[in-house]
C-alpha cells in the first residue's frame, strides 16, 4: 500500500478549510459513522483528499482499527471514502491526503494507518478476532462440490465423480470430491498420482456445456533428469482428450521453459513427445516482480487515461492479454490441461480467469465466492505460508542455511520468490539466455551445463534490502484481473 500522506501547501489548506460557519458540520460529520462490532475510533483529523478527478477536496478523515473513512466538508461536494485498512483498491488507486505541517500530525496518521493495516507486524490481532459479530453455527455453506458439478452438467457419460480422496489419502492438498474421466479406474488414478508432484493428478475444474471441452488442472510430472516415463499418465491424458473427441489436447505449462527444464534437477519436469495427441505450450508467466511490472503498466493505461494514439501499443507492452489463452482454446472446443510446478499458484490463477470469462455464473457475487473456494481454497493454495510464521518455515531448511553461512532476512516476511532456489533459477535463466538455445534438446543440454557451473556462493536472496508485506501475491493478481474483466 503506497503512502497515503503527501506534502501539501499549508496556505492552500488554510484557504480551503475555514473555521467559521461550518464548525457544527465538522463536529457532526463523522459522528454518524456506523462502526462494526469491535471496531474502535482511533483518530480523526481535518484533511484534504487529493482527488485525481476533481482536485483537492476538504473534509475529515477517521482512522479506526479496521478502516479509513473520509467525508467531504463541503455540502456541494458529496464524496465519501470507506476503505478497510490493508485492502488493495479494486481500481489500483493510491489514496493521497494532505495535512497541515504542524507538529508530527502527518507522521502520526501514517504510522497509525501502517500499524492497523499490518496488525500482525505490530503485535496486534487481526480484526477478524476482535469483532464480536455473531454468526450462525452452521458455518460456511456457499460452496457444495456436488451441487457445483451438477450445475455444470456432471456426471455424464464422459465424466464421473469419485470419492477416492475422501480421507485425503490420494492427495492431501486436493478436495475430497473429484471429477475424472468416466473410463478411468481408481487404480489408474493411484498410479497417475505416483507420477505427479505431490500426488496432484489431472482433474476436471470446468466443462463447457455446449462443446464439452474441459479445463483440467494438475501438477508437473515427475520426469527428473533421467527422463522417466509413466504410461499410465500418458494414457490418462489421452482419455481426457477423448472425452470431447478433440484431435489434440493442449498442455499449458504456466512456467517459462527454462524454469520447467531446471525443475528436472529436483525431480520435476514437463510432458515430452511421448504424450501422443498432445501439444505442450509454455506460457512463460514470470515471477511476482515481472508480473507486478506488467500490472503497473496496465495501471498506467487505465488510471489516468493515456492518449488514444498510444493506447493499443501501451496495452501490448503490458503482456497482460497473453495470459487468457486458456479461455480461447476452450471456447474453440479444445480441452486443456493447466499446471505449473505444484499446481496451486499460477495454475489457480489461469483456470479461474478462464472460467470467469467462459461462465457467467462466476461473475455473480455468489459465483465468485464458489470459484474462490473451489479453485483456490479446496485445491490447496498456500494462503497461510505467505506470512513467514515459524510453523510454516522448515526447520531443516533454516539449519542448512545456517551451516552454509547464508544470511537470510528476518521478519517482516519476504516475497515468496525471494528464496535460495528461486534465486538459482534466476541465475540459470540468465546464463542459458546468453547461449541462445535453438530447440528444446539444446535447451536441456545447456541447462545441465550451466547448472554445473553455478558456484555455491550464488545461493541466497538476490536483494538483501528487499522487504515485502505481500500476502499471496498470485491471489492478489487474480482479484485484480477479476475487477478488470468486470469493468471492461
Q: Which residues are catalytic?
A: 340
For cell 533428469, name the residue: 225
User: Residue ranges of the alpha helices (H) in 21-101?
Assistant: 23-29
Across 283-369, the runs of DSSP E, i.e. the strands, are 336-339
**Measured between alpha carbons, how far is residue 430 from residues 172, 287, 313, 422, 450 in Å?**
35, 14, 27, 13, 10
Residue 108 marked ligand-binding: no
Cell numbers for 443: 535447451
Cell numbers for 30: 463523522
Q: Count the Cβ atoms, other than its own, within 10 Å of residue 405.
A: 7
Across 203-277, the runs of DSSP E, i.e. the strands, are 203-207, 214-217, 249-253
Across 85-155, the runs of DSSP E, i.e. the strands, are 97-98
Residue 352 marked ligand-binding: no
CA nearest 213: which of 336, 68, 33, 384? 336
Residue 344 marked ligand-binding: yes
Q: What are phi and psi of 48, to 5 degrees?
A: -125, 130
Q: Count the Cβ atoms, other than its own, within 10 Å of residue 438.
A: 8
Are the CB atoms for 30 and 52 separated by under 8 Å? no
Print burial letters for 15-43: b (CB count within 10 Å at least 16), e (below 16): ebbeeeeeeeeeeebbeebeeeeebeeee
Q: Using CA atoms, how far apart are residues 460 and 470, in angstroms rounded to an integer?
A: 19
CA dihedral 421, 425, 428, 432 (to 10 degrees): 160
DSSP helix/strand/coil, 179: strand
Residue 345 marked ligand-binding: yes
Cα dihedral 161, 203, 242, 214 sign: positive
CA nearest 217: which of 180, 176, 268, 261? 180
Residue 346 marked ligand-binding: yes
Q: Which residues contact 212 (CB under 8 A, 6 or more apart)?
A: 158, 243, 244
Cα dihedral 203, 205, 211, 213 sign: negative
Q: What are 80's strand-pairing partners?
A: 71
Q: Which residues carry a binding-site annotation for substrate?
A: 287-288, 340-346
Amino acid at each position: 500500500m503506497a503512502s497515503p500522506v503527501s506534502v501539501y501547501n499549508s496556505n492552500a489548506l488554510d484557504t480551503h478549510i475555514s473555521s467559521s460557519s461550518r464548525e457544527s458540520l465538522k463536529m457532526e460529520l463523522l459522528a454518524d459513522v456506523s462502526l462494526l462490532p469491535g471496531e474502535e475510533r482511533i483518530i480523526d483529523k481535518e484533511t484534504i483528499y487529493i482527488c485525481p478527478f476533481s482536485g483537492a477536496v476538504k473534509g475529515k478523515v477517521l482512522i479506526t482499527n479496521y478502516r479509513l473513512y473520509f467525508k467531504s466538508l463541503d455540502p456541494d461536494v458529496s464524496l465519501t471514502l470507506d476503505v478497510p485498512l490493508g485492502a488493495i483498491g479494486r481500481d489500483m488507486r493510491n489514496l493521497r491526503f494532505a495535512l497541515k505541517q504542524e507538529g508530527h500530525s502527518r507522521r502520526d496518521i501514517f504510522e497509525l494507518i501502517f500499524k492497523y493495516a499490518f496488525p500482525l507486524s505490530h503485535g496486534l490481532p487481526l480484526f477478524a478476532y476482535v469483532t464480536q459479530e455473531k454468526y450462525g453455527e452452521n458455518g460456511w455453506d456457499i460452496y457444495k462440490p456436488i451441487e457445483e458439478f451438477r450445475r455444470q452438467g456432471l456426471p455424464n457419460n464422459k465424466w464421473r465423480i469419485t470419492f477416492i480422496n475422501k480421507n485425503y489419502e490420494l492427495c492431501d492438498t486436493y478436495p475430497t470430491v473429484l471429477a475424472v474421466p468416466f473410463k478411468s479406474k481408481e487404480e489408474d488414478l493411484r498410479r497417475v498420482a505416483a507420477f505427479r508432484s505431490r500426488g496432484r493428478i489431472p482433474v476436471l475444474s470446468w466443462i463447457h456445456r455446449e462443446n464439452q471441452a474441459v479445463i483440467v488442472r494438475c501438477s508437473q510430472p515427475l520426469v527428473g533428469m533421467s527422463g522417466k516415463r509413466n504410461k499410465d499418465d500418458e494414457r490418462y491424458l489421452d482419455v481426457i482428450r477423448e472425452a470431447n473427441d478433440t484431435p489434440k489436447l493442449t498442455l499449458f505449462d504456466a512456467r517459462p521453459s527454462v524454469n520447467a527444464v531446471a525443475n528436472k534437477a529436483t525431480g520435476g519436469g514437463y510432458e515430452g513427445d511421448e504424450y501422443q495427441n498432445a501439444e505442450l505450450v509454455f506460457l512463460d508467466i514470470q515471477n511476482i516482480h515481472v508480473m507486478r511490472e506488467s500490472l503497473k503498466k496496465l495501471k498506467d493505461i487505465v488510471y489516468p487515461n493515456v492518449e488514444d494514439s498510444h493506447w493499443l501499443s501501451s496495452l501490448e507492452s503490458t503482456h497482460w492479454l497473453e495470459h487468457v489463452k486458456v479461455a480461447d482454446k476452450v471456447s474453440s472446443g479444445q480441452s486443456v490441461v493447466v499446471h505449473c510446478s505444484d499446481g496451486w499458484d499460477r495454475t489457480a490463477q489461469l483456470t479461474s480467469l478462464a472460467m470467469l470469462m467462459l461462465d457467467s455464473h462466476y461473475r455473480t457475487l455468489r459465483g465468485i465466492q464458489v470459484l474462490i473456494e473451489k479453485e483456490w481454497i479446496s485445491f490447496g493454495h498456500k494462503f497461510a505460508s505467505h506470512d513467514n510464521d515459524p510453523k510454516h518455515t522448515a526447520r531443516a531448511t533454516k539449519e542448512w542455511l545456517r551451516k552454509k553461512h547464508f544470511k537470510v532476512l528476518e521478519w517482516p516476511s519476504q516475497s515468496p520468490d525471494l528464496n535460495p532456489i528461486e534465486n538459482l533459477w534466476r541465475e540459470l535463466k540468465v546464463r542459458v539466455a546468453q547461449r541462445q538455445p535453438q530447440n528444446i534438446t539444446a535447451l536441456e543440454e545447456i541447462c545441465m551445463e550451466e547448472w554445473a557451473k553455478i558456484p555455491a556462493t550464488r545461493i541466497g536472496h538476490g536483494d538483501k534490502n528487499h522487504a515485502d508485506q505481500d500476502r499471496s501475491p498470485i491471489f492478489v493478481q487474480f482479484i485484480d484481473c477479476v475487477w478488470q474483466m468486470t469493468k471492461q
